[in-house]
Amino acid sequence: MNTPDFLALRDVGVTFADTGETALAGVSLTVSAGAFVALVGRSGVGKSTLLRVIGGLLRPTTGTVHLQGAAPADSPAPIGIVFQRDNLMPWRTVAENVRLPLELGAGKGRKGERADAPAPLHSSALVADALAMVGLAGQEDSYPAQLSGGMAQRVALARALVHRPALLLLDEPFGALDALTREHMADELLDIWQAHPVTVLMVTHSIGEAVLLADEVMVMNDRPGRITERIAIDLPRPRTMAIEATAAYQAYVAAVRGAIRA
């Protein structure tokens, strides 16, 4: 059952100590479990900063972030993150790159474990499942240098999904790809999410991509950044890219574009 407070932010603000710049101010939002939410806004408005706060990579200066009732670092909900760059380790194979979160999890020293404990015995099956999910079965022994940009980003997505996260954070994951590959990856992400539901918060500069994928589009404006509008996307699911030809889709694109201030 969906819960409105799976993720809850209250009056979150971020001021960077080194520059004195305030990137976020008064950001409050809730996200239901299982939702797909897109975050849009002009460059520099604080979208990536907000995503890092939610992921526990950056501590807010003011306000609170709760993921299943706890701060992100203490939450029982595993988090997967994909950035614009794939950040693959070139000396590791595809399978070894995807396995990394499992190895790090095993090395955190859970009660009764050694700090140098190996990854769980079932990690190979989890890696194989994650690679199959993103269409890369059979590429386990390839190295990043042998992959196209789209394939490398699929590996990054598999790495984020391998430990079966409850929350998936995507920071412009297709921004470095050419237009056609980006469209293909968005379509694949839609298929993956529809087959394996997970709560998703995705930063994107593409309004069309946001409307195609999301249940709701949050619009950020101003500096410091804040959420100024939330637009529910009431388009039928399952969706395919064919929906982009409909008048309803175009109307949502226009509404989101109109909500982004100059």
* Distance, CA of 31 to CA of 229 (rounded, Å): 14
Residue 202, amino acid: M
Q: Which of 202, 142, 143, 152 is nearest to 172 (CA)?
A: 202
List the domain boundaries for the chain.
88-149+157-163
3-class DSSP state of 106: helix
pTM for the structure as a whole: 0.89
CA distance 112 to 159: 26
Mean pLDDT rounded to a whole number for the chain: 88
Q: What is the mean pLDDT of residues 132-139?
A: 90
3-state secondary structure of 82: strand
Mean pLDDT across 56-80? 92
Predicted confidence (pLDDT) per residue in 103-133, tens digit: 887 544 443 333 343 444 468 889 999 999 8
CA distance 175 to 209: 11
> Region 63-84: what's the mean pLDDT?
90
CA 70 to chain centre: 19
pLDDT value of residue 118: 43
